[in-house]
Chain A
Amino acid sequence: MFPRKLTTLIVAALCLCVVSTTFHPVAFAQKKKAPVEATPPPVNEEFKFGEVDLEILEQSDLLDHRLERDGLVLADDAANSYINRIGRSLVPKDLALERVSWRFRTLRDPQPNAFALPNGSIYVTTGLISLIDNETQLAAILAHELTHVMRRHTYLQNRSNRKKFLTMNIMSAVGSYAPLSLVGAVVMAVTTVAPFIMIATMYGYSRDLEREADLKGIDMMISAEYAPEEMVQVMKSLDKDIEGENIRLFYNDHPSLDERIKYLSNYLGARADKVTAQMELNREREAYFRNMSSVMRHNVQLAINAGRFRSAVYFAQRLVDFRPDSENLFWLAESYRTLGPRAQELTEKQLTNSAMKDAAKKREKRTTEEEERDLLATPAGKENWEQHQKKAEELYLRALATDSPVPVTHRGLGMLYEKLGRTNDAVAEYQKYIDMSPSAPDHERIQRRIESLGKP
């Protein structure tokens, strides 16, 4: 047993630990006073590198290398130079940050997201590039990520988390040796509750940093002559829940999108009043789509591969709206064909939190083929399937009627006919495809399909 004075001291020390690690000075400062004037660049001048930070930096360099080595970075020179130009326009020319080298890259991932590594590498996924409408919105994303790097958020969060982990571990050690007495029970109670408080503060701190990145990002946009209200539009686009994934959780490391839209709109205030000619130019949708169409098409394929069929239809439709009589028709046809028996849009009921949780559980269990089989057993699924196959055929044929049809259209049509049981038509289309693209990477695959369909 511990002497009574000592145990009281331990309890007091534990409480102090929880309190002191719960409230971070940055969080305090932010809650008291949000920045009022644009003060670019939002560099964290006081930051000094420590050993722990250098380790994080090394890991970031290795992660960069890994992403590239694993074929996850998009090697599209035109798109990369476009995103690079926008990113660099947000960074003041004379700004030199210690151990930061700016790199703006596109990540081959259909899920809308963006992230920054503390070494200055900023990645925007193909999914996010496809979701937004213009250069200014891309600038908003980059400004947010640039702020994370300039304010050294990763290092600060890592430092803060390390303290909290240490506190949690010490508490759990103390808790497991608590004496069997009233004081022991109090120690146990404190040490049991403390980890939850710690985790909540970790997420809370993360949310504070995200908020700061949003607000400072707006300032950076204004300095680079990008209309700041487009940041709100980005949040609204992210809020579009095409796949039914925006499940509300108890812990969140980002503020909710509703909250972000609200505080960004408040912060904008008079800042959004001044609109220059350059700002208008940067908001041009046409120019953005012209520069990013190849990335968007690539993303449709990635979305199909990932089973994000509704997103594929949504993105392909945007491409067709932008340029109808083109290869884009093929991508929309592919999206409809693979959408199969699924409904094109989720209903309100399917977008409730519990329904989305159930759907997520099912996704973890069922393969795509099993999901399709189950849906096809329902009248609604069958109807969807018929509608989508019809739509796909119509689009493939329209794609073939354009001035420069892409050979893969024949492959898509072949796959559609194969599924519809129109064997001869399928073989004919497959044959056309391999005749037109003898060196296609899927030549063998299609050849085998022809052979297997030819068998009695």
Chain B
Amino acid sequence: MTLHKSRNEQLSSLRRLTNANLIFVSTLFLIALTSQSIHAQFIHPKIKSKETTIRNVVVLPAKVNVVRDSMKGPEGMAAESDELGVRIEKMIAEVLLKEKQITTQPPPSATATDGGSQQQYNVADFQTKFDDLLPKIFKKRSDVKKGRFSMGDEVLNLNLDKSVDAIVFIRGEGKKLTGGKTAFRLLVGGVPAHLKLQIGIVDARKGDVLVYTDPVLVGDPTTAVDRLRDALRKGFKKLPAASAK
């Protein structure tokens, strides 16, 4: 219950419903027919030319939102979403280490008594900044390959360890279907259970968006652990390994 909802917010959600989601839903159908996951990835020219190599990253807390879709509409799954977010963070760290020899450092802590809330604000503001940039990236993902997107040198305000090369941002939206809704989908059609991830890797010194990948998993996002790992592995396929010369 809000006092006043910005119409711009309403308009953009409506537009999102009509344009992006239509494309997304039709893509989901195609995936459901063909394979279990897809993975589009876009790499910054600096990474391709090996001017920049990612060896060490910080994975910021994932923002994942999964809803249970029932015949009576969507129902929140806040606890499960948080759990899933933590699982995805760990999986990404595992995949990066195993496949790309990229190590992960813990995110900046906000528990320090001195300036604890300031550090928490810094992380929160940076997460918000990524959220603001995300629709622009999504609109023209291939421009990551041209090095078009940057979050600026404010990234240094996070005061990460000097050895950190990049920061990983994770966003996810998913849907789990109830038994009734699954049966309904078989009869009438509709969006299957899925998880759509948007992962950005940002230069920890200059703020450039180095990698953008958006793996999609078709299936129950809270239980399909192996398929999720597989989708993440494929999602980082084009990223050069840290040891590669």
Contact = CB atoms under 8 A, between A and B. Distances in A.
A364 interface: yes
Given A305-B129, A365-B136, A448-B156, A116 B1 contact: yes
Which interface class (under 10, 10 to 19, 20 to 34, 35 or more) fits B?
35 or more
A70 interface: yes
Interface in A58-91: 58-59, 62-63, 66, 70-72, 75
Nearest to A161: B73
A357 B78 contact: no
Contact of A305 (B3, B119, B125): B125
B75 interface: yes
A55 B75 contact: yes
Given A111-B6, A162-B72, A245-B8, A441 B124 contact: no
Which of A75, A169, A238, A360 has the largest number of chain B CB atoms within 10 A?
Answer: A169
A249 interface: yes
B105 interface: no
B72 to A, nearest CB: 4
Which of A71, A209, A306 has the largest number of chain B CB atoms within 10 A?
Answer: A71
A381 interface: no
A238 B6 CA distance: 10
Contacts of A71: 110, 117, 120-121, 123-125
B223 interface: no
Interface stretch (A12-20, A251-259, A339-347, A421-429): A251-259
A209 B1 contact: yes
Contacts of B14: 249, 251
Contact of A145 (B3, B79, B118, B121): B3
A254 B122 contact: no
Given A148-B1, A161-B73, A249 B7 contact: yes
B110 A357 contact: no
- Binding site of B, secondary structure by majority: helix, strand, loop or mixed? helix
B71 A448 contact: no
A179 interface: no
B12 interface: yes
A367 interface: yes
A453 interface: no
A273 B153 CA distance: 56
B1 A165 contact: no
Interface in A146-203: 148, 153-154, 157, 161-166, 169, 172-173, 176
Nearest to B6: A245
A262 interface: no
Interface in A83-128: 108, 111-116, 128
A246 interface: yes
Which interface class (under 10, 10 to 19, 20 to 34, 35 or more) fits A?
35 or more
Nearest to A164: B73
Nearest to A76: B117
A254 B73 contact: no
Contact of A66 (B72, B78, B133): B78
A360 B11 contact: yes
B7 A128 contact: no
B26 interface: no
A441 B159 contact: yes
B129 A444 contact: no
A319 interface: no
B4 interface: yes
24 contacts: A59-B78, A71-B110, A71-B120, A108-B121, A113-B6, A114-B2, A116-B1, A145-B1, A145-B3, A148-B1, A169-B71, A173-B188, A176-B187, A176-B189, A243-B8, A246-B7, A247-B8, A302-B125, A305-B125, A306-B128, A360-B11, A364-B12, A441-B122, A445-B157
| 3 smallest beta-carbon distances between A and B, as pairs | A71-B124, A165-B73, A62-B78
Interface of B: 1-12, 14, 61, 63, 71-73, 75-76, 78-79, 82, 110, 115, 117-125, 127-129, 132-133, 135-136, 139-140, 148-150, 153-154, 156-157, 159, 184, 187-189, 205
Interface of A: 55-56, 58-59, 62-63, 66, 70-72, 75, 108, 111-116, 128, 141, 144-145, 148, 153-154, 157, 161-166, 169, 172-173, 176, 209-210, 213, 238, 243, 245-249, 251-254, 257, 302, 305-307, 356-357, 360, 364-367, 369, 441-442, 444-445, 448-449
Given A246-B8, A247-B11, 10 more contacts: A55-B76, A71-B110, A75-B117, A113-B2, A166-B72, A209-B1, A246-B6, A364-B135, A364-B136, A365-B140
